[in-house]
Amino acid sequence: MLDRLTLSMRASHVLAALLVVAALVLAVVGSAIGDTFYLRLATEALIFAGLALSVDLLLGYSGALSLGQALYFGIGAYTSALVLMKVPSFWLAMGAAAGMTFVCAIIGGLIANRVRGVYFALITFGLAQVVAKVVYNIRDLGASDGMIGIPVIDIGIGPFSVSAGNPVGFFLVVLVIIMALYAATAYLLDTPFGRVLTALKANEKRVPFLGYSVWRARMVCYLAAALIAGLSGALYPMLRGFVSPELMFFMTSGNAVISVILGGVGTLVGALYGSVFLVIIKSVIGSWTDHYLIIIGLLFMAGVLFMPKGLIGFVRPHVERMIAPRHLRETRAPEQDAPLKAEEVKP
Amino acid sequence: MSRPVLEVSDLSIAFGGLRAVDQVTFAAERHRITTVIGPNGAGKSTLFNMISGALKPLSGTVLIDGVDMTGAAPERLKGAGLSRSFQITNLFFELTVAENLRLAAQVLEPAKRALLPIRCSTRAQAKTQAMLERFELTHKRDELAGNLSHGDQRRLEIAVCLASEPKILLLDEPTQGMSHQDTADTAKLVRSLTQDVSVLLIEHDIGLVMELSDHVVVMHQGRKLAEGPPAAVRADPQVQAAYFGHA
Ligand SMILES: Nc1ncnc2c1ncn2[C@@H]1O[C@H](COP(=O)(O)OP(=O)(O)OP(=O)(O)O)[C@@H](O)[C@H]1O
Ligand SMILES: [Mg+2]
């Protein structure tokens, strides 16, 4: 029988489909009028949406706030850049980025998962800052300038080939990859393992008494989130032709967290919408004034105050009601209840 | 007679200078209700915490089915067939009643199903349904656990513990805060559990203890004061002085 969590996930899929339709419309219109600027901007929005997705997997499902998720985005980007300079192969770059991110995430996860809550947030923040500073000082990685001159590659997909320099073509490639990452995450969350993550968020101390290892679940979640961030990051140098240490800085991690909060924590698709929204706002307001950060800050505060569940958190219950079978239609949606705090286990 | 399902020997723990549990030894027989009683602060919940892996004992051993499980992590004890409830209701309040049960029942499935879609775990789903029916919660399956009445939450907590088909079930004051009628219903329920499991119970209601228990262990200030059949324990002058004297 369909249950609430599966229903919420389906409502997210409806909204994700809507986003894909909007993207396809943009692709058609953009190629018809020969636009480059907006297609590249939208491609960048999608790439950062991947990073936001990884933040939401951690925060929205297992309840762990990472303030340094850009670390894995940056590792993916640098690995991809290094590979592309030697061998201009899309698949090799993606594979290497995934492998490198995975290995680094095992180390990062062993460190960060020793603690939880605020301490987890601080450790993830610290890890990213340390690695960013190290990269900033390594001459072979371009130091503070980063690496430029990454060649424009041709992406071979079966018999077809798309140039990363083609705005529509690359936009569609990125769209497919980010939506595949979304689909994989959604799949994971609708498995028994994914449900253990929601249990962790709801009441972590009860989980071991159900027979699940909290450490293992948190670790797997951390690795999956890092992979998503790393694969998204791997796309960045293909779009921009360069990488820089800023990709790992707090600004990047912070933007991803803001995207998730604006879009709706724990909705998955909200991370995508939030990221697109943030990139659009930034470029629109950025074209009026240099002080766009002030406006983004104010927007963020207004969002948190007046739409605490985010854009999708606000919209999704309505979608749920539309697609719900009768037995789930009467009762209140979980989103509308103030979550009760779990009682502490008496130690 | 077969070996007891749970054997505790010389179990001790100290908090600072306080010996919260001091060299406690007892055994719980299969398909019986063994009850631990004692005044507030006697160390009953602390004893449960050590048996269930929430606290590591300072010394002593815990055997489950004859296997040494002293100080094992809770998830390993679960694998060994031990389930426990908590004195303070401890559920996933933001999840539905059915999801609370399904999470517990999932351990019945082979590990590889953990990464298949949830609907493939048919055994866990069937168990959830069976538990909903047995505990009369079917009409509340999609309610959030946090929205249930106190009595329903306490019942759900027992159901959650039972959903993993344990060998031994530790219940810490399951009737706490319940109405008279709910208490009576719960007593009947606990009695019916012994068909499938062995029960280790903490209970304050002496009437209930006498009615339900096959074996009673009395604790006082961390130590075991006496043990035996309910009637014999009640007649023990030491127990009367320490425990019933206050009641
Ligand atoms: N984590 C802890 N740290 C310090 N002292 C503790 C801790 N847990 C329990 N205690 C102390 O150990 C003693 C035994 O507590 P416990 O909760 O086991 O009693 P109990 O028999 O379950 O009582 P009640 O009937 O009130 O539930 C008490 O004095 C309590 O204050
Ligand atoms: Mg107690």
DSSP one-letter string for B45-101 = HHHHHHHTTSS--SEEEEEETTEE-TT--HHHHHHTTEEE--SS--S-TTSBHHHHH
Q: What is the pLDDT of residue B235?
A: 87
Dmax over Cα atoms in chain A, in whole Å?
66
A1-11 mean pLDDT: 84
Q: Is the pLDDT of residue A341 over 80?
A: no
Q: Is the pLDDT of residue B108 over 50?
A: yes
- B200, B213 in Cβ contact below 8 A? no
Instruction: Please answer yes or no on whether B103 and A187 come within 8 Å at the CB atom.
Output: no
| 3-class DSSP assignment, residue A201 | helix
B202-223 per-residue burial string, b: 16 or more CB within 10 A, e: under 16: bbebeebbeebbbbbbbbbebb
Mean of per-residue pLDDT scores for chain B = 91
Instruction: Please answer yes or no on whether B109 and A205 come within 8 Å at the CB atom.
Output: no
A231-258 per-residue burial string, b: 16 or more CB within 10 A, e: under 16: bbbbbbbbbbbbbbbebbbbebbebbbb
Indicate the pLDDT class of residue A342, thresholds 50, 70 and 90: very low
Q: What is the pLDDT of residue A29?
A: 94
Indicate the pLDDT class of residue A15, thresholds 50, 70 and 90: very high
- Which of A200, A212, A184, A189 has its CA nearest to residue B109? A212
Determine the Cα–Cα distance for residues B194 and B168; give it in Å rounded to an integer.
10
The distance of A152 to chain B (nearest Cα, Å) reads 38
- A331, B143 in Cβ contact below 8 A? yes
Question: Which ligand lies nearest to the CA atom of residue B40 in the structure?
Answer: 1
Residues of A in contact with B79 (CB under 8 A): 211
Residues of A in contact with B115 (CB under 8 A): 188, 191-193
| 3-class DSSP assignment, residue B141 | coil
| 3-class DSSP assignment, residue A337 | coil
Indicate the pLDDT class of residue A141, thresholds 50, 70 and 90: confident
- Which of A40, A49, A51, A106 has its CA nearest to residue A76? A51
Instruction: Note the pLDDT tens digit of each residue in B34-68.
Output: 999 998 999 999 999 999 999 999 999 999 999 99
What is the token pair recorded at B29?
């027989």
Instruction: Note the pLDDT tens digit of each residue in A28-78.
Output: 999 899 888 999 999 999 999 999 999 999 999 999 999 999 999 999 999
Is the reported ipTM for this assembly greater than 0.85?
A: yes
For residue B193, give the H/E element and its range: helix B180-193
Determine the Cα–Cα distance for residues A153 and A174; give it in Å rounded to an integer.
14
Indicate the pLDDT class of residue B105, thresholds 50, 70 and 90: very high
Indicate the pLDDT class of residue B1, thresholds 50, 70 and 90: low
- Which of B92, B89, B114, B90 has its CA nearest to residue B101? B92
Residues of B in contact with A1 (CB under 8 A): 125
Q: Please return the burial class of B69, using the count of CB atoms within 10 Å of its CB with bins 0-12, 13-18 and 19+.
A: buried
For residue B37, give the H/E element and its range: strand B33-37
Determine the Cα–Cα distance for residues A339 and B181; give it in Å rounded to an integer.
30
The rounded Å distance from CA B43 to ligand 1 centre is: 5
Torsion B64-B23-B83-B133 (CA) sign = positive
Indicate the pLDDT class of residue A345, thresholds 50, 70 and 90: very low
B157-163 mean pLDDT: 95
Instruction: Note the pLDDT tens digit of each residue in A73-122.
Output: 999 999 999 999 999 999 999 999 999 999 999 999 999 999 999 999 99
Provide the residues around ligand 2 (an ion) whose CB is within 5 A: B 45, 87
Q: What is the pLDDT of residue B244?
A: 59
Torsion of CA B30, B69, A193, A4, to 10 degrees: 40
The rounded Å distance from CA B41 to ligand 2 centre is: 7
Q: Which residues contact B2 (CB under 8 A, 6 or more apart)?
A: B30
Q: Where are the domains of chain B?
A: 1-81+167-247, 91-165
Q: Is the pLDDT of residue A347 over 70?
A: no
Alpha helices in chain A (DSSP H): 4-32, 37-56, 70-86, 90-112, 118-136, 167-189, 192-203, 214-240, 250-263, 269-288, 292-306, 310-323, 326-329
Q: Does A118 touch chain B (CB under 8 A)?
A: no
Assign domain A4-325 to a CATH class: mainly alpha
- pLDDT over 90 percentage in chain A: 66
Mean of per-residue pLDDT scores for chain A = 89
Instruction: Please answer yes or no on whether B106 and A190 come within 8 Å at the CB atom.
Output: no
A4-17 mean pLDDT: 92
- pLDDT over 90 percentage in chain B: 74
Q: Where are the domains of chain A?
A: 4-325
Determine the Cα–Cα distance for residues A317 and A329; give it in Å rounded to an integer.
11
Indicate the pLDDT class of residue B177, thresholds 50, 70 and 90: confident
Which CATH code is given to the segment(s) B1-81+167-247? 3.40.50.300
- Number of A/B CB contacts below 8 angstroms equals 124
The rounded Å distance from CA B142 to ligand 1 centre is: 35
Q: Compare CB distances from B88 to A198, A202, A343 and report the shortest one's residue.
A: A343
What is the token pair recorded at A286?
């950025």
What is the token pair recorded at B163?
């959903």
Pocket of ligand 1 (CB under 6 A): A 347; B 15, 20, 38, 40-46, 87
Q: What is the pLDDT of residue A329?
A: 67
The distance of B2 to chain A (nearest Cα, Å) reads 27
Instruction: Please answer yes or no on whether B114 and A191 come within 8 Å at the CB atom.
Output: yes
Torsion angles phi and psi, residue B81, rounded to 5? 100, 25
- Which of A147, A168, A179, A127 has its CA nearest to residue A77? A147
A41-80 per-residue burial string, b: 16 or more CB within 10 A, e: under 16: bbbbbbbbbbbbbbbbbbbbbbbbbbbbbbbbbbbbbbbb
Tell me how far CA of residue B233 lies from CA of A88, B25, B218, in angstroms. Answer: 82, 16, 8
